[in-house]
């Protein structure tokens, strides 16, 4: 079994501890500099926060190896334990139970983005609204002036989408959440749609399309923006009580 370790710049010490530990328990491991190689390992240990995992995922286009997250920052939703990782990491490797979460794929004029949390379509000019039209399976469900529009996964419902009127979605309910950011309109609602549907977005002026806050592509009124569930699942070592984990995280942002 071959593992790799990725880490946040400030978490090199913990990463080296992980390397030593994995070697001790007989796992061949290395600390990766070039994260695009991560996809070829049997599993990945991420040392940092949710942000580190989100960045890592930008480097893996297909289904990912199982990820184990060691949290060295604020409480995360995607991580498995804090810097006292030994017991938890050992158990995870021994049992090797995993679970997978859908990602959303967005194609903007041929360029492809992949997101575990959300694709945000945002005005390119601060304090200037854009008009966004959203089509689900070719049916227009929304036509709205706003700061932007989010298309979020269930996992992403506790990320950027939490800042809007969106609900918390159980990560085991495969679906896509569509919700505007600062809509200049009285009558609108968040939509939770089947993950099998296709979404098309149109904007009337310059916009940024942003995947998980990390990768940005430009779009304009001529762009075709297509979103759908990706088959490139993100795989994680299993977390026992995911509802409880969400409840604890929400308490921190009350």
Q: Point out the residues that are catalytic.
A: 50
CA 146 to chain centre: 23
The distance in angstroms from the start CA to the end CA of the chain is 42
For tokens 């409840």, name the residue.
247
Total residues binding a copy of itself (CB under 8 A): 59
Among 160, 217, 225, 230, binds a copy of itself (CB under 8 A): 160
Which residue among 1, 25, 90, 173 contacts a copy of itself (CB under 8 A)?
173
Return the range that interacts with a copy of itself (CB under 8 A); candidates 49-57, 85-93, 98-106, 184-192: 184-192
What is the β-pairing status of strands 225-237 and 199-203?
Answer: antiparallel
In the list 104, 114, 136, 227, the residue contacting a copy of itself (rule: CB under 8 A) is 136
DSSP state for residue 128 in the 8-state scheme: -
b/e map 222-245, b = 16+ CB within 10 Å: ebebbbbbbebbbbbbebeeeeeb
Q: How many Å apart are CA 24 and CA 13, to the nearest integer?
A: 17
DSSP state of 9: G
Q: Which is nearer to a copy of itself, 94 or 240 (CB)?
A: 240
What x/- string results for residues 187 through 226 when contact with a copy of itself is judged by CB under 8 A? xxxxxxxx-xx----------x-x--x--x----------
Site membership for a copy of itself, residue 113 (CB under 8 A):
no
Q: Is 155 in the site for a copy of itself (CB under 8 A)?
A: no
C-alpha span between 230 and 35 (Å, rounded) = 21
Q: How far apart are CA 6 and CA 78, in angstroms?
A: 15
Q: State how far the Cα of 197 lies from the Cα of 8, in Å rounded to an integer.
A: 36
Per CB under 8 A, the list member of 124, 226, 235, 239 interacting with a copy of itself is 124
Which is nearer to a copy of itself, 24 or 240 (by Cβ)?
240
Are 130 and 226 contacting, i.e. CB atoms less than 8 angstroms apart? no
Q: Which of 23, 182, 231, 238 binds a copy of itself (CB under 8 A)?
A: 182
Q: Which is nearer to a copy of itself, 86 or 131 (CB)?
A: 131
| Interface contacts to a copy of itself, rule CB under 8 A | 120, 122-124, 126-129, 136-137, 139-141, 146-147, 154, 160, 162-170, 172-175, 177, 179, 181-194, 196-197, 208, 210, 213, 216, 241, 243-244, 247, 250, 253-254
């Amino acid at each position: 079994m071959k593992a790799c370790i990725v880490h946040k710049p400030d978490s090199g010490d913990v990463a080296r501890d992980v390397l030593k530990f994995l070697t001790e328990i007989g796992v061949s491991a290395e600390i990766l500099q070039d994260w695009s190689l991560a996809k070829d390992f049997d599993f990945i240990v991420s040392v940092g926060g949710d942000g580190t995992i989100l960045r890592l995922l930008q480097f893996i286009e297909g289904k990912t190896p199982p990820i184990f997250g060691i949290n060295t920052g604020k409480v995360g939703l995607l991580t498995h334990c804090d810097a006292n990782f030994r017991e938890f990491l050992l158990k995870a490797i021994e049992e090797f139970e995993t679970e997978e979460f859908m990602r959303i794929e967005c194609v903007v004029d041929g360029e492809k983005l992949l997101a575990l949390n959300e694709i945000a379509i945002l005005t390119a000019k601060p304090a200037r609204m854009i008009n966004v039209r959203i089509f689900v399976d070719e049916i227009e469900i929304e036509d709205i002036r706003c700061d932007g529009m989010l298309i979020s996964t269930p996992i992403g419902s506790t990320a950027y989408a939490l800042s809007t009127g969106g609900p918390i979605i159980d990560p085991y309910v495969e679906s896509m959440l569509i919700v505007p950011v600062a809509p200049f309109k009285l009558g609108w609602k968040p939509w939770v749609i089947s993950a099998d549907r296709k979404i098309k977005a149109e904007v009337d002026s310059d916009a940024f399309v942003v995947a998980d806050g990390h990768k940005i592509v430009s779009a304009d009124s001529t762009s075709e923006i297509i979103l759908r569930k990706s088959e490139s699942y993100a795989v994680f070592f299993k977390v026992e009580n995911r509802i409880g984990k969400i409840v604890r995280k929400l308490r921190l942002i009350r």
